[in-house]
């Protein structure tokens, strides 16, 4: 066999964890220039992780103005946005520079990641996602039929709602940890239902948690199995929590995920709430006020966590 014509430098990161072998694994290719779309997709399939990212370096002026170009692939498709690849790639780009901010240009546009460094603490990165778009609320019976769950498995005090901060998730509250632990869904029927209702995936959450300090316990099952940490969904859940009173505006809360698959992840989220004065001045219109709270008045969604580099290597093509 001759020498490979191309050697692609890559690193692998465990994202939403400060410990190796926990969190969600991510492969980052540091210079994807010259790769075709098909090659990027094939490499992502070879990596066989939830996602793989490709950094496409540009001149300094363009990067300063527009951000560092990054593309995100699952084993099956390119995504316009995803949370743990955004955070992990920002950590990879930051390296040892101590930079306070890294700005990425993704298919959804510019996403900035801010870093906090505490004495003796691992670096913490927090990405600001797109302002949320609140989609339809779903009937529990329809979701039960689409997933194979029972209606009594759902938390009936909170709505099932599709929310997007770059990628639409149907946030589905379940009533207990035992339901979460035993979660099995009909992926084919679920995908058919989601396709008809403009959701990409279900994000199952429970207010009953393993860690006392966590606000939500979460799971995300999809065509590649289960995701240990889903940062894009966590942003949607942050907006949903503020809209429906599970978290206060600006309160940074913890979502735990990946516990069942022994890849525990810690995702920290917060969001702001913007009063709509015009709506609030309409006297005695309580319905409008409550709708305004849950309908796109939530802004400044941020999702953060730690990342640890676990591997460095080269791929030969």
pLDDT at site 224: 81
- Least confident piece of the model among 86-95, 161-170, 195-204, 290-299: 290-299
Strands 133-138, 160-164: parallel, antiparallel or unpaired by DSSP?
antiparallel
Judged against a pLDDT cut of 70, whether residue 289 lies above it is answered with: no
pLDDT at site 280: 46
CA 91 centroid distance within chain? 16
Q: How many percent of the chain have pLDDT more than 70?
A: 93
What pTM was estimated for this model as a whole?
0.91
* DSSP secondary structure letter of residue 103: E
* pLDDT tens digits along 171-196: 999 999 999 999 999 999 999 999 99
Q: How many CB atoms lie within 10 A of CB 120?
A: 4
pLDDT at site 276: 67
Q: Give the angle subtended at the CA of 230 by the CAs of 228 and 234, to the nearest 5°.
A: 130
CA 119 centroid distance within chain? 28
Between CA 92 and CA 289 the distance in angstroms is 43
pLDDT at site 275: 77
* pLDDT tens digits along 230-255: 999 999 999 999 999 999 999 999 99
Active-site residue, 256 included:
no
Residue 260 vs residues 18, 45, 108: alpha-carbon distances, Å: 19, 24, 31
pLDDT at site 2: 67
* pLDDT tens digits along 2-58: 677 899 999 999 999 999 999 999 999 999 999 999 999 999 999 999 999 999 999
pLDDT at site 296: 63
Mean pLDDT across the chain: 93
* pLDDT tens digits along 132-182: 999 999 999 999 999 999 999 999 999 999 999 999 999 999 999 999 999
Q: How many CA atoms lie within 13 Å of 116's alpha carbon, on the beta-carbon side?
A: 9
Do the beta carbons of residue 224 and residue 76 sit within 8 Å?
yes
What is the three-class DSSP state of 155?
A: coil
Q: How many CB atoms lie within 10 A of CB 57?
A: 14
Between CA 70 and CA 84 the distance in angstroms is 13
Instruction: Exactly one of 39, 46, 51, 139 is catalytic; name it.
Output: 51
- Least confident piece of the model among 101-110, 253-262, 289-298: 289-298
What is the three-class DSSP state of 213?
A: coil
CA-derived radius of gyration, the chain:
20
pLDDT at site 237: 98
pLDDT at site 290: 43
- Least confident piece of the model among 212-216, 282-286, 303-307: 282-286
Q: What is the mean pLDDT of residues 285-289?
A: 43
pLDDT at site 286: 44
Do the beta carbons of residue 156 and residue 177 sit within 8 Å?
no
Q: What is the mean pLDDT of residues 92-116?
A: 96
């Amino acid at each position: 066999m001759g020498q490979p014509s191309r050697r692609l430098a890559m690193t692998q990161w465990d994202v939403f964890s400060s410990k190796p072998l926990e969190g969600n694994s991510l492969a980052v290719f540091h210079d994807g220039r010259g790769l075709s779309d098909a090659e990027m997709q094939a490499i992502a399939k070879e990596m066989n992780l939830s996602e793989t990212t490709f950094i496409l370096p540009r001149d300094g002026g363009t990067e300063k103005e527009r951000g560092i170009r990054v593309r995100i692939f699952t084993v099956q498709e390119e995504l316009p946005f995803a949370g743990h690849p955004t955070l992990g790639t920002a950590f990879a780009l930051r390296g040892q520079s101590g930079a306070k901010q890294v700005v990425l240009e993704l298919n959804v546009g510019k996403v900035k990641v801010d870093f906090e460094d505490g004495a003796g603490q691992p670096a913490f990165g927090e990405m600001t996602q797109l302002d949320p778009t609140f989609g339809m609320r779903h009937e529990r019976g329809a979701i039960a039929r689409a997933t194979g769950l029972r209606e009594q498995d759902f938390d009936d005090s909170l709505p099932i709602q599709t929310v997007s901060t770059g990628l639409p998730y149907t946030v589905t509250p379940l009533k207990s940890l035992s339901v979460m632990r035993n979660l099995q869904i009909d992926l084919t029927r679920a995908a058919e239902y989601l396709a008809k209702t403009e959701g990409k995936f279900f994000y199952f959450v429970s207010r009953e948690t393993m860690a006392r300090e966590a606000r939500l316990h979460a799971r995300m099952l999809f065509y590649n199995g289960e995701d240990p940490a889903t940062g894009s969904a966590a942003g949607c859940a942050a907006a949903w929590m503020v809209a429906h009173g599970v978290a206060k505006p600006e309160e940074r809360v913890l979502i735990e995920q990946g516990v069942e698959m022994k890849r525990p992840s810690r995702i920290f989220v917060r969001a702001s709430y913007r009063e709509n004065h015009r709506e609030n001045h309409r006297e005695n219109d309580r319905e409008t006020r409550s709708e305004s709270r849950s309908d796109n008045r939530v802004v400044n969604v941020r999702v953060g966590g730690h990342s640890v580099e676990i591997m460095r290597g080269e791929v030969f093509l």
